[in-house]
Amino acid sequence: MHFASMTSTMIVVMVMVMMSQVAGHGMMMDPVQRSSMWRDRVQYPNAAKNYDDNQLFCGGASTQWNKYGGKCGICGDNYGDPHPRANEAGGVYATGIIVKTYSKGDVIDVAVKITANHLGYFIFKLCPNNDVTTEATQECLDDHVLKVVGDDGKDQGDKYYIDSKINTKHVKLRLPADVTCTQCVLQWTYNAGNSWGCEINDPSDCCVGCGPQENFVNCADIAITDDGSNPITAAPTTATEKPKATDSPATTRGPATQTPQPTPQPTTAKPTTAKPTTAQATTTTKNPEATQSPNQTGCVAVYPYSAAPGMTGWCNTMCSLNYCPATHCKCS
């Protein structure tokens, strides 16, 4: 028994050493993850630069598995980093800007750039968080594992296994039909699969891709509305049940706009229903400030967002809540 225990320990150590030598790399580019926004200087001119945005790998395999027992920051930071972690709410790369807006139930295209390929699979999760000042939880993300959609429009499970090419992988995902949000966190996890390992619960079950592997994790901030229009007020409705897969073919629909929209700071009395619209912002009685007339605040959208539909109205709403992001609005 003592010999078997020592053998298992040696195997785990050897696996960790091997994993540190064969690191894969990649990042989610559409919708763009928080640490990679800076690569588009037109859309995000003030985004902080992270030149290591393709290696958000939980501090490395050895740190993740040997030191923290597999734990990782929900957006790929070292679990032991001080709060706020760099890629989580309050961190340098978490700006709160909504990079894309989709319709509920959409089949969406997600692009992941792989710069060093070590096989394995992707998995995508969603959390209707609705508060850019508070980080989502892994428990919330685990409640909404998105289904991969095949070319025939049918769900293919929740794992997307990649080929050996170094390129950009395009994945179709089905959004839940019962989730809308002013801010959802979309989490991408890449579980690499080319290291020899043994399953933690069964040390005799060993193979290439078995057991603890290197993980990459990214987060992107998106919004989901009834019709794909940009949400004006923070009036989301979260899901009451997990998304249901359908067998009917679905067509891929792109987002309604490519203009990033920052998510408003939340008030203490959160609305309970959502009805986003670009024509007229509606609120509940708990948040009357959001219906303030644009002429009462004198706020306007600034370049390059001044030409975006609905941005001046959004700026007026935000300024009425004492939140005026200088990168997007000018308020008097």
Residue 274 lies in a domain: no
Number of domains within the chain: 1
Distance CA 259, CA 99 (A): 7
pLDDT averaged over the chain? 78
Distance CA 189, CA 68 (A): 18
Instruction: Name the residue with higher pLDDT: 15 or 66.
Output: 66
Q: 325 pLDDT exceeds 50?
A: yes
Residue 234 lies in a domain: yes
Distance CA 75, CA 220 (A): 9
DSSP state letters, 126-181: EEE---TTS---HHHHHT-BPEEB-TTS-B--S-EE--S--SEEEEEEEPPTT--E
Residue 171 lies in a domain: yes
Instruction: Name the residue with higher pLDDT: 265 or 113.
Output: 113
- pLDDT more than 70, % of the chain: 66
Residue 318 lies in a domain: no
Distance CA 70, CA 98 (A): 30
pLDDT for position 31 = 98
Residue 157 lies in a domain: yes
Average pLDDT rounded to a whole number, residues 271-283: 41
- 220 and 29 in contact (C-beta within 8 Å)? no
| Span 138-160, pLDDT tens digits | 999 999 999 999 999 999 999 99
Residue 120 lies in a domain: yes
Please list, in sequence order, all residues whose beta carbon lies within 8 angstroms of the beta carbon of residue 230, skipping any fewer than 6 positions away.
98, 101, 223, 256, 257, 259, 261, 276, 278, 310, 314
Distance CA 27, CA 34 (A): 10
Average pLDDT rounded to a whole number, residues 318-329: 68
| Span 176-192, pLDDT tens digits | 999 999 999 999 999 99
Residue 82 lies in a domain: yes
Choice among 11-25, 77-91, 92-106, 307-321 with the minimum mean pLDDT: 11-25
Q: 16 pLDDT exceeds 50?
A: no
Here the CATH number for the domain that contains residue 58 is: 2.70.50.50
Residue 304, preceding bond cis, omega within 30 degrees?
yes
pTM of the complete model beyond 0.75? no
Residue 301 lies in a domain: no
Q: 253 pLDDT exceeds 80?
A: no
- 259 and 305 in contact (C-beta within 8 Å)? yes
Reference 192, options 64, 66, 67; nearest CA is: 64
Give the range of the structural domain holding residue 122, as residue numbers without chain letter.
2-264
Distance CA 71, CA 270 (A): 31
| Span 283-319, pLDDT tens digits | 444 443 333 333 445 788 776 656 665 667 767 766 7
Confidence of residue 251 (pLDDT cuts 50, 70, 90): very low
Q: For residue 225, list its beta bridge partners.
A: 103
